[in-house]
Amino acid sequence: MLKSLTVAERRDYGPSLYRSIFELAGSDSVPYHRTSLAFEVSHSLCKANKDLSLGDRDILVPLEALCVRTLTPDSFTSAGALIGSELSQNIAEALRPKSVCFRAGAQALYGLRSNFQLSRELTPLTASWMHPQDTAVASDDTFGLLSMSPKRVAGLTALSKEIQLISQYDVASFVMDSISIGIGVALDRGGIQGAGVFGEPLGLFNTTGVGTVTFGGAATWAKAVNFESQIVAALGSDQNISFVATPAVREKWKGIQRFASGAKSLWEDDETIAGKRAMVTTSCPANSICAGDFTQMFFGFWGEGSPIQITVDPFSRKKEGLIELYLQLLCDVGIARPSVFVINADSATQ
């Protein structure tokens, strides 16, 4: 098992990775024995993930390294903008600021090595009050398996070579933030509307067994609260319910009053619906909203340290003065209990 990065190492990791990327881009022959924190971590990940095919210009980044982010103390406009603060080493916490699904409560399974099966309860035991002479009827729990297999999340980004003229401490956090935002958006899209084909996971809107609400016209208070009613009826945790929608739904619902004589809207200014957290993302299908107990959504990450593989390419866009970065990560999405999620059956912005 790999040792987690210490607080100090996570603080230094962003600048080290930034320097290492330009080091990989800056020479024709790149022996893989560089010495820096980022390279040392990558060497360790390489030894623990021998099945990964790595080239001379590849570097492995542990997913937990995304825990380092910028912005804090004092004044943002002065040195505060360049000082990093640490988040939890937990992967879910690392991605939470960038992913709606993780903010809503989705759970992470990391360090997976092969196809993974998660045991899940399909029907709970039923208990009833009995008359002294009644005979209890057997009602055992039934269980099933949620199968998950590694799928490739990949993307391209580019850095200007002129950016080296700026202090690496000014832009290292930007590089880390860009990586984590890209991964967070990809995870949200897969978890919410993945089609389950062509390498995509099966997302919430395409999963069998989720509940539905049909508006049949403009959204109403009765329809809004029906989301949480169905979730609780399916034994979802009331305190874990979150709503997730497109920005267009929030705009529309903020202009719809609960009741004709009331001042409150369906989507309140404190970003709640019926007292439950409400968030927006463009990763939802157009004009859509969903709600559920997101602790029953799981993201699996493969490989020791759940590594992000970054390939540094200084050649493809050299005429533009750009260094191209190709990133890939192996992960999957699984919904353990579809019945504790509800989606719209028709447009939520009518």
CATH number among 3.30.2320.10, 3.40.50.170, 1.10.287.110, 3.20.20.80, domain 204-298+338-344: 3.30.2320.10
Distance CA 349, CA 278 (A): 16
**Other beta carbons less than 10 A from residue 242's beta carbon:** 22
Asked whether the predicted pLDDT for residue 329 surpasses 90, the reply is yes
- Residue 145: strand pairing partners: 119
Distance CA 18, CA 16 (A): 5
Give, as one character, the DSSP assignment of residue 81: G
> Residue 129: its pLDDT value, please?
72
Q: Looking at the whole model, is its pTM more than 0.85?
A: no
Could you tell me the two tokens for 37? 């924190």
Distance CA 82, CA 256 (A): 42
Could you tell me the two tokens for 40? 């040392």
Residues 6+ apart with CB under 8 A from 152: 199, 328, 329, 330
pLDDT, one tens digit per residue, over 277-299 is 999 999 999 999 999 999 999 99
Domain spans of the chain? Answer: 7-107+149-196+300-335, 204-298+338-344
Distance CA 258, CA 262 (A): 7
- Band (pLDDT 50/70/90 cuts) for residue 86 is very low
pLDDT, one tens digit per residue, over 134-157 is 766 555 555 577 889 999 999 988
Distance CA 151, CA 302 (A): 9
3-class secondary-structure state, position 247? helix
Asked whether the predicted pLDDT for residue 167 surpasses 90, the reply is no
- Secondary structure tally for the chain: helices H, strands E: 7, 14
